[in-house]
Amino acid sequence: MRFSILFIILIINQGCENISRNDNNNSKENNTYVCLKCGSSLYKENELFYENNNSKDFNNSIEKKVKTFENIYENDTNSKNNKYKTELFCTKCDSKLGNLINDEKGQRHCIDKNAIILKNLIK
């Protein structure tokens, strides 16, 4: 069954508004990024360390919520020149989220902004 993006956003955001102005509710520890397709919690807001127009980079995901898949994306006649990328997927619905990047900044999850949405969890 396929839902429209608007319907999914309405479901995810239902009952998520901050009722009180208490600073405890506005803490980054209470906020989580969820999969836009299934609503599964994937990343805590305090793990976000870089953001640009296309993606958000996170240090770590919530345990067992994101799975990886290594894929060859450039195949050369010489097998030594094959390049690999590690793709990230939601464990619950198998939506592609982004890629695992390992460079001079260290290892991080580079997530497409269109794959996740921020949700405030009131505790």
CATH of domain 5-120: 2.170.150.20
If pLDDT is split at 50, 70 and 90, which confidence band does 102 have? confident
pLDDT confidence of residue 17: 38
pLDDT > 90 fraction of the chain, expressed in percent and rounded = 47
Q: Using alpha carbons, list the distances in angstroms from residue 98 to 13, 78, 93.
A: 23, 27, 14
Query: Which of the four pLDDT bands, split at 50, 70 and 90, describes residue 21?
Result: very low
What phi, psi does 13 have (nearest 5°)? -90, -5
pTM: 0.68
Cβ neighbors of 118 (< 8 A, separation 6 or more) are 31, 32, 33, 34, 45
Domain ranges of the chain: 5-120
CA pair distance 74, 67, nearest whole angstrom: 22
- Round the average pLDDT of the chain to a whole number and report it: 77
For residue 80, the model assigns a pLDDT of 61
Among candidates 62, 72, 54, which has minimal Cα distance to 111? 54
pLDDT in tens, 48-86: 989 999 999 999 999 999 999 988 666 555 556 666 789
